[in-house]
Structure 1
C-alpha cells in the first residue's frame, strides 16, 4: 500500500515538474531578432599578408528585456564568399528597447583577399556588392543570441586615373 502511494506521488511530482518545465520553455525564444548594422570599419595593424579591422556594430534590442552577453563572434561575407571573421571576449548588456555599439576585431586572410579579387576580376563590375554579416552574442547556456544582416556595399566611382 505504501509502495502504491509512493508511485502515485512520484508520478504526480514528475507530471508537475514537466508542466513547469514546458511553461518555462515556452517563454524562451519569444524575442524579436536583434537589429544589427555596420556602424564603421577602422584599420588595425596586421601581420604578414593578413589585414585586420575593427568592425563597429550598432546593435538594437527591440525587446522588453535586456540582453546580457559575455562574448561575441562575427563572420562577414562579400559576394557570397567568406571575407573576414573575428571574436571578442568583451561583455556587457544591450538595454531593453535600447542600443549599443560593439567593436569586434576581424581578420581578412590573404587567401580571402585573393579570392575576392579574382571574384571581382571575373565578373562585370557593378556599382554595389552584396554583403552578409552573421554572428552571435554569447550569453551562457540558453542566453546566446544569433544575428544576421544583409545589404549592399556601394563601390566608389572610378576616376579613370587607373584601376586596382
Structure 2
C-alpha cells in the first residue's frame, strides 16, 4: 500500500514537472489583409485570402499546413486548406495566401439570411483557422471584423 502511494506521488510530480517543460507562448496575431479572385469552377467561387501572421514570441514558429473556415453574418461561407510550409522567425511577420472555396449553396444561404434592409457592407465575419506544426506546435487562431466591400476590390 505504501509503495502504491509512493509510486502515485512520484507519477503526479513527474506529470506536473513535464508541464513546466512546455514554454509559455503568446498567441499569434493574425489579421485578414485582403482577398483576390482565383479561377473558379461551375458552381463555386474561389478566392485567395491573405493573412498577416505576426509572431510575438522569442522562438521560431515552424508550420507545415494552414486551414481556414470563414463565417459571414453568423453562417458558414468559405473554407480552404493549403500545404504551405515555412518558418516564422522570432518577433517577425509574414503574409500567407490561402485559397478558399465558396459553393453556390453557401452564397444562397447567405442571400436568404439577409434582411431586405441589410446591405452587403459591414457584415460581421469570423475567420477560424490553424497553422499546423506537429503534435505540440499547432496554433489555432480567430479573427473577427466586418466586411468592407465598397470600391473596386474587396478588402477586409
TM-score category by the smaller chain? 0.7 to 0.9
Aligned residues, how many?
Answer: 151
TM-aligned CA deviation for residue 103 of structure 1:
1.1
TM-aligned CA deviation for residue 129 of structure 1:
1.0
1:83-116 CA-to-partner distances (Å, cap 9, x unmatched) read: 1000011111121111111111100011111111
User: Which structure has greater helix proportion?
Assistant: 1
Structure 2 stretches lacking a partner, 5+ long = 152-156
The answer to whether residue 68 in structure 2 is matched with residue 74 in structure 1 is yes
1:127 and 1:35, CA in 2 relative to 1: closer, same or farther beyond 3 A? Answer: same
Distance in structure 2 (CA, Å) of the matches to 1:108 and 1:127: 18
- Name the residue aligned to 2:94: 100
Query: Please, which of 45, 52, 75 is the counterpart of residue 51 of structure 1?
Result: 45
Distance in structure 1 (CA, Å) of the matches to 2:50 and 2:73: 21
TM-score by length of structure 2 reads 0.83
1:26-77 CA-to-partner distances (Å, cap 9, x unmatched) read: 3437221111111221111111110001111100011111111111100111
Q: Cα RMSD over matched residues?
A: 2.5
Distance in structure 1 (CA, Å) of the matches to 2:107 and 2:120: 18
1:13 and 1:39, CA in 2 relative to 1: closer, same or farther beyond 3 A? Answer: same
